Amino acid sequence: MIQHFLTLDTFRSGLNLYLNSHGNDTAEANDLFKALKEQYKEDFPNSELSDEDLQDVFESWTLQMGYPVITVTRDYSLGTVNVNQERFLLTRNNTADDEDYSWWVPLTYTTSDELDFINTSTKVWLNRTEESKNITILNLKEMDWLIFNIQQIGFYRVNYDTTNWKILISQLNSDQYEVIPPVNRAQLNLARAGLLDYSTLFSLTDYLAKETDYIPWYAALNGFSYLNTRLQASSENDYSLFKKYVLSLLDKVYSQLGFQEKESDDHVTKLNRNLILTWACKLGSESCTKTATKLFHALLSKDDTVSPDLQTAVYCTGLNQGGPEEYEYLWEKFLNSDVSTEQVLILGVLGCTADEDSAHA
């Protein structure tokens, strides 16, 4: 984040200044801040940020815990925008905290008319003495959507007013959803923190039926994981509806990736396949369960091996669909393995067994 508001060249030069000044000597945070400030003032002598401001920027992010959520509220008739900051809390409890948390927030944004997701330089500062601020965005029309935190380079979350959410949802559900880059598509999930109602969240996630990129899917399934855990304890009908909904969203990306690996697959594709197959099998996809069980039985009969990128889905499904034999096979594999990553993977999937006697052994 600092690199983006200082600019890459200034950040690099500031780091070089810091390293040349201190070498292998001991140093503290202020030594780094001093070098970055000196370089910034040299490169931008007319900057709106004074030396004291820059020091406060650095300290606001390093000397207090947490980070903010920025609430963006538009006045559609005037074309103005109000931004408000408060500390982001995933869960709120009754624990009193008298600390007044606030940050210097480097705001970046773009609109559906502008579509500039490349320029990540700071457009407006929301300083730590400002709880809120009004911004005028030129050429922002009433039906344009507005997105803050370009490429999610800022260490903060963003919430919008209901109308802006609806315009964003309309864009995502259109054939032109990819005009919003994957990282910004992935950042639109605030329901668990109580900042966004679940009806809006599910309207946002409907577009995932077309999504094949790993980054939005990783973010979405991370959010669904919270719901999956809690709905398992609800009525069978509610949980069944949830599983059916998520599987319908997974259909396209599951069909595209499948179990068949290709030599051309890059690292992100492999990560995506592991993620999608794990969830498809966990939620009861008939095709996924059948294929993973077949691969696991081939392991038992020593007829085949399983690619490391498929092991989570295959092991978990094999255990869930099997009994003591399948559990004992993996348990012995764990005991005989001297590879820590394999041991961690096996321990992580042993809980997938549906055989209570094996799990208690």
302 C-beta neighbours (distance < 10 Å), count: 7
Q: Is the pLDDT of residue 54 over 80?
A: yes
The domain containing residue 138 runs over which residues? 68-210
Q: Is residue 244 located within the same domain as residue 168?
A: no
Are the beta carbons of 318 and 292 closer than 8 angstroms?
yes
Q: What is the pLDDT of residue 285?
A: 96
Q: Is residue 17 located within the same domain as residue 89?
A: no
Q: Is residue 80 located within the same domain as residue 43?
A: no
pLDDT band for position 273 (50/70/90)?
very high
CATH number at residue 286: 1.25.50.20
Q: What is the pLDDT of residue 134?
A: 95
Q: For residues 31 and 177, what is the distance between their CA atoms, to the nearest angstrom?
A: 45
Q: Is residue 87 located within the same domain as residue 205?
A: yes
Q: Is residue 199 located within the same domain as residue 80?
A: yes
Q: Is residue 223 part of a domain?
A: no
**Per-residue pLDDT reduced to its tens digit, 204-228:** 899 999 999 999 999 999 989 988 9
Closest among 283, 227, 228 to 250, alpha carbons compared: 283
Higher pLDDT, 176 or 94: 176
Q: Is residue 344 part of a domain?
A: yes
Q: For residues 218 and 244, what is the distance between their CA atoms, to the nearest angstrom?
A: 19
Q: Is residue 136 part of a domain?
A: yes
| Final residue of a structural domain among 62, 79, 94 | 62
Q: Is residue 120 located within the same domain as residue 15?
A: no
Q: Is residue 225 part of a domain?
A: no
**Per-residue pLDDT reduced to its tens digit, 165-184:** 999 999 999 999 999 999 99
Closest among 161, 181, 213 to 115, alpha carbons compared: 181
Q: Is residue 227 part of a domain?
A: no
Q: What is the pLDDT of residue 305?
A: 82
Q: Is residue 309 located within the same domain as residue 257?
A: yes
CATH number at residue 84: 2.60.40.1910
Q: Is residue 34 located within the same domain as residue 72?
A: no
**Per-residue pLDDT reduced to its tens digit, 238-264:** 899 999 999 999 999 999 999 999 999
**Per-residue pLDDT reduced to its tens digit, 119-158:** 999 999 999 998 899 999 988 999 999 999 999 999 999 9
| Final residue of a structural domain among 44, 62, 80 | 62
Q: Is residue 90 located within the same domain as residue 55?
A: no
As for how many domains the chain has, the answer is 3
Q: Is residue 81 located within the same domain as residue 113?
A: yes
Least confident of 32-46, 157-171, 180-194: 180-194
Q: Is residue 206 located within the same domain as residue 72?
A: yes
Q: What is the pLDDT of residue 96?
A: 53
Q: Is residue 216 part of a domain?
A: no
Least confident of 77-81, 232-236, 248-252, 342-346: 232-236
Percent of the chain exceeding pLDDT 90 equals 74
Terminus-to-terminus CA distance in the chain, angstroms? 49
Q: Is residue 313 part of a domain?
A: yes
Q: Is residue 229 part of a domain?
A: no
| Final residue of a structural domain among 62, 83, 110 | 62
Q: Is residue 138 located within the same domain as residue 257?
A: no
